[in-house]
Amino acid sequence: MKKNGIHIVNLEACTAKVRMQSPCAAAAIAAADGLAARLADIAKTSQWGFHNVNKQDNFNYRSASDILPKEEDYITVDFRAISKSVVPGHWIDWTKQDVLKNSVKKLVNQTVYPNHDFFDIEGWLGSVSAASWDEAGEQSEGVPGINATYKIDALMNPRIARGLLMKPPAIHSTSMTVLFKYEYSHPDIATENRWRFFDLLGEEVDGEIVRLVVTEILEYWEASLVFQGADRLAKQHGNSGDEEDFAGMSAKPLDGDADKNVRVPGPANSKQEKTMKLTAEQKTKLGIEFDGEDVPETEIFKAGESLADRLAKVDQVNIAELTARAEAGDELVKEKRAEVTRLAKLAELGAEEGDLEEIVSEQIEAADADQLVKLAGYFQKKVADRFPNGRSSQESSKEIDAAGGDKQEVKQLPKVSVL
């Protein structure tokens, strides 16, 4: 439904999307007497609490037209917004097919906030003016992902703007708030106990990291400038060279000269040592002694080299010999299991043919070598009890009558024990 510029999405769900458009031109604005002074007072103090309001605002409010945005008020900065990777710590997997690539358009026009403080609309810094898919990831270690351009209001946020433009940038990282659908990497665990699944996030189970696999991105709530994002590739893009001036930066100068362009400098931490989040169990397996989850790459490399040295010392001949012994042992266990099954059928059914009770079959199948030896002794005793005339457990089933206790004469055979 559309009426007077209001678009109703779903009346039953009580949700609506409102878009109001009003023409606005500086030439058509006329300020009433005393408006400039009143706006100046509002900029300094609250009408209600007498405390500073919007202290980040940089307006003088000399006339109402000062409020109208001007092109020279803004800078534009390029970022890697989100990468096609698994995010350590949060263990969110963005790598499924083209899920991330298909969401590019949803990021455009979203608001940029500081530190995910998006509950206060007055805290906005700017907006996402453009977004594109970056398959090559030339400035993101070769990892594909979404690149975005942030349009920041430098007039209202001069400190933020200077932090973005300086070399190296004081503000170099970004982070997204994303609403998405997902599936479990280990659905069997989640089905059995969902809380156990979340407890195991980041752990390796059956050769695979437990994680949430994103299947659809519903929307981006906002983008934020942050100290460090969970996605460590979500950094400011641009030239990381040694130029002393800003002659190429993709930003509007603040002196009003629209012909001058400047380029965003490269990431401040391009030479910074990277870290990886590891659990206590993972650090123990690797032999890493380091406090905290964020383990430097150098420590991980050292642990990898140490493991490689230890593996190099292993006698490959011995490994082959042990493997052969293990295979032979498996064959012996298989033969033993078949023999125990035969004994069980003689003991329970009186013949080698037929089906055992399910619980008996499951017990035999689940038994290890030691348990099979015990089961063999148990069923051998039951066979002896069932055939008191001395029939052997090795006797052919054709020579054993169904009842195992009639008065027919049968050939006496020697008793044979079972290993």
Question: What stretch of H or E contains 139?
Answer: none
Q: If DSSP states are collapsed to H, E and C, what string results for 308-321?
A: HHHHHCCCHHHHHH
Count of alpha carbons within 13 Å of 295, Cβ hemisphere only?
23
Residue 142's pLDDT band (boundaries 50, 70, 90)? very high
Residue 222's pLDDT band (boundaries 50, 70, 90)? very high
Q: pTM of the full predicted structure?
A: 0.47
The per-residue pLDDT for 165 is 93
Structural contact between residues 97 and 103, judged by C-beta atoms closer than 8 angstroms:
no
Listed in sequence order, the residues at least 6 apart from 365 whose beta carbon sits closer than 8 Å to its beta carbon are 337
What average pLDDT score do residues 158-169 get? 93
The sign one gets for the Cα dihedral 380, 383, 387, 388 is: positive
The per-residue pLDDT for 379 is 86
Structural contact between residues 340 and 304, judged by C-beta atoms closer than 8 angstroms:
no
pLDDT at 79 over 90: yes
Q: How far is the C-alpha of 265 from the C-alpha of 259, rounded, in Å?
A: 19
**pLDDT tens track for 30-40:** 555 665 566 55
What average pLDDT score do residues 402-419 get? 44
> Can you list the pairs that 187-190 forms with residues at least 24 positions away whose Cβ atoms lie under 8 Å?
none
Coil, helix or strand for 7?
A: strand
Identify which has the larger pLDDT, 88 or 262: 88
Residue 187's pLDDT band (boundaries 50, 70, 90)? very high
The per-residue pLDDT for 131 is 95
**pLDDT tens track for 330-356:** 888 888 889 989 888 888 888 888 888
Q: Which residues pair with 404 in a beta bridge?
A: none
334 Cα distance to chain centroid: 42
Coil, helix or strand for 145?
A: strand
Q: Which two tokens stand for residue 324?
A: 């052969």
Place of tokens 């893009």: 237
CA distances to 156, 347, 369, 373, 403 from 377, rounded to whole Å, are 87, 11, 13, 6, 22
pLDDT at 105 over 80: yes
**pLDDT tens track for 279-312:** 888 878 777 777 777 778 777 777 777 777 666 6
Residue 60's pLDDT band (boundaries 50, 70, 90)? low
Q: Which two tokens stand for residue 150?
A: 């942030």
**pLDDT tens track for 375-395:** 888 888 888 888 876 554 444
The per-residue pLDDT for 233 is 94
Residue 230 is given by DSSP the state S
Beta strand segments in 56-163, E: 74-83, 86-87, 92-93, 111-114, 126-134, 145-153
Measuring CA to CA, which residue among 384, 372, 369, 385 is closest to residue 417? 384
